[in-house]
Structure formats: structure tokens, C-alpha cells
Amino acid sequence: MSSETIFTKIINREIPADIVYEDEKALAFRDINPQAPFHVLVIPKTAIATINDVTEENSHLIGHLYVVAAKLAQEHGFAEDGYRVVMNCNEHGGQTVYHLHLHVLAGKEMGWPPYQDTKKGLA
Ligand code: 5GP
């Protein structure tokens, strides 16, 4: 499944974004609502809706997103201190844009676990 989202419009320069990296397979831009001093989204240019749509055929794109994430962390000086890479899937995972993307968060020490379990217990 590959439906058009706001991220397709960013790839096509139909809406603006603060783009920090681009190559033939991926684009990275600053999140409009940053959750850390450095918060970039790394997306494949070929739309994949969710992790559930990852296949053997397109999985090389997922690996590439991590290569880009590591490159950005290095370039922006976060590689040594560390950073967090997150990919949300569907409603319970907190996904709101159905064009799969890596969140790369850095510039502060982050807590773990990453959520407040307010709705129900884990059991
Ligand atoms: P998700 O919730 O799907 O894991 O992450 C979607 C992310 O996209 C959110 O962190 C949200 O702030 C970001 N976002 C949504 N619309 C836009 C936009 O138009 N421009 C940018 N730069 N980020 C966006």
C-alpha cells in the first residue's frame, strides 16, 4: 500500500520543510513539532505506509533510513553522546502520518520507558 500523504508533498516541494539531507532514496527534514533539540524525520522517497507494509523487496529502504540517521547524528555531533531512533506503527504505536518514517531525536538525555502507561496496566 502506498497512499499519498503530506510527506509526498514535502518530497515534491509542494509544501515547505526544513530539509537537512537528501539522496536518491531518502529525505530528512526537521519535525514541525520537535520533541528534542534535534528532531528530524527520515523518510523513504518511495512511500511505504507502515511497518506492516515492509517486505523483503522494499526492506533495503529501511536499512538505508538507518544509514541516513547515523550519518546525521555524526554530522550534527550527537553520535558519541547518543540519540534515539523511533518508528511508530499504527494507532497504538502513535503513528499519525502513514508514510513510514524514522524519528531521530537528540540533544538531550531521554528517559526510558518512553511512555506513560496511563490507559491500562501491562498485564
Ligand atoms: P508519527 O506520529 O506519524 O510517528 O510522526 C509524524 C510526525 O510528523 C510528527 O512528529 C509531526 O510533528 C510531524 N509532522 C506532521 N506534519 C508535518 C509537516 O507538515 N511538516 C513537518 N516538518 N513535520 C510534520
Could you tell me if the CB of 94 is within 6 A of ligand 1?
yes
pTM: predicted TM-score of the whole model, two decimal places: 0.94
Q: What is the 3-state secondary structure (H, E, C) of 41-85?
A: EEEECCCCCCHHHCCCCCHHHHHHHHHHHHHHHHHCCCCCCCEEE
Q: Which pLDDT tens digit goes with each residue over 15-55? A: 999 999 999 999 999 999 999 999 999 999 999 999 999 99
Residue with cell 511505504: 48
The atom of ligand 1 lying closest to the CA of 18 is 22
User: What does DSSP say about strands 19-22 and 102-106: parallel, antiparallel, or unpaired?
Assistant: unpaired
Q: Which domains, from first to last, does the chain contain?
A: 6-106 (3.30.428.10)
Q: Which pLDDT tens digit goes with each residue over 47-100? A: 999 999 999 999 999 999 999 999 999 999 999 999 999 999 999 999 999 999
